[in-house]
Structure 1
Amino acid sequence: MPYGLIYWHTDHPDDAVDHLAEPPDRLAVPSYVRWWAQGHWLAIEDKRTEGSGVLFGTECLEIFRSVSADGGLEEAVVANTHRRRIFPSTARADIEDAAAGLFRIGLLRPASGL
């Protein structure tokens, strides 16, 4: 529900992040996002919208695991390189593009201290 998202941001002004800016080097999963692996998929529940779970692809699951480990995307790049058997530069571009998309919709945020 789009109104749920608007209301959430209105009720949490101290939690504002410019999601249209370039994503930082270190990312974190926000406290309003609950995530888990569902097979090879990333399952998400976003408390801002109170919607049911949404599934994202394996690449996004690799990103969430990597960001949860150390805030960076290196683990996701390595996993994507091996899983798809592609060049590391291609894997990095794909991971950075997917992470930027997750950042833009608020499912990732700058890691604390940035």
Structure 2
Amino acid sequence: MKKDEQNATLQMPTLLDITNKAIQDGYTENFKVASEGLTNDKEEKFYAPHDVSIVNFHRFEGYSNPEDSAVVYFIETNDGLKGLLIDAYGAYADAKQSNFIREVEGIQKHIKKNIKK
């Protein structure tokens, strides 16, 4: 492994880092998927897949245990709520959440590149 690759690996953000940054950026809702659709902790309103956009997502893989794999989705609703949905990845994924995410048409991935000269 080249030295630059090794440093990049050591500097990968954690799920906690990403979550804290998302909260600072206004993604304060803790979303979950119920049988009625996507909702927050208060369950005041439910959203269908066409009511939400996934503006970014990050996948984390456990180094030694597949149970540590997760995906965090940055979600915005059509009425302005912003929050996160965290799901296991792979064999441990929640089928209800995975099915909901597959139905969301507005899904984007924003990649920030750190380029050193």
Compare relative contact order (CA 8 Å, sep 6+) and give the higher one, 1 or 2. Answer: 1
Q: Write 1 or 2 for the structure with the bigger share of strand.
A: 2
Please give the TM-score of this superposition, normalised by the length of structure 2: 0.28
